[in-house]
Amino acid sequence: MISLRSIVVIAPEQLSCDLAGEAAILNLQSGTYYGLDTVGGRIWTLIREPQLVQNVLDRLLAEYDVEAGRCESDLLALLQELTDEGLVEVKDE
């Protein structure tokens, strides 16, 4: 389970590229393609290096006009989905 104290990073078994702020991702193990919208693409950029989820949340709150509780729940849900698909690795603090 991902929390604000988890450390997340993009998994090595994928390829990705930026498409005008959005992200296109290929899972090399499954051969499945994924797409992220501009906010998802921003998150993807932020976790290219290991990041504390709290730090990612703080950056998003500074950059976007969004309610903190919604941003947190959406961020945790996206990171969990990306982890379930093998695109992100999670390390608990």
Q: What CATH number corresponds to the domain at position 31?
A: 3.90.930.60
Q: Is residue 82 part of a domain?
A: yes
Q: Is residue 85 part of a domain?
A: yes
Enclosing domain of residue 39: 6-92
Q: Is residue 1 part of a domain?
A: no
Three state DSSP letters for the chain: CCCCCEEEEECCCEEEEEECCEEEEEECCCCCEEEECHHHHHHHHHCCCCEEHHHHHHHHHHHCCCCHHHHHHHHHHHHHHHHHCCCEEEEEC
Q: What is the pTM of this model?
A: 0.93
Instruction: Give the count of domains, the chain.
Output: 1
Residue 82 neighbours by CB under 8 Å, 6+ apart: 88
Which residues of the chain are under the pLDDT cut of 70?
92-93
- pLDDT score recorded for residue 91: 85
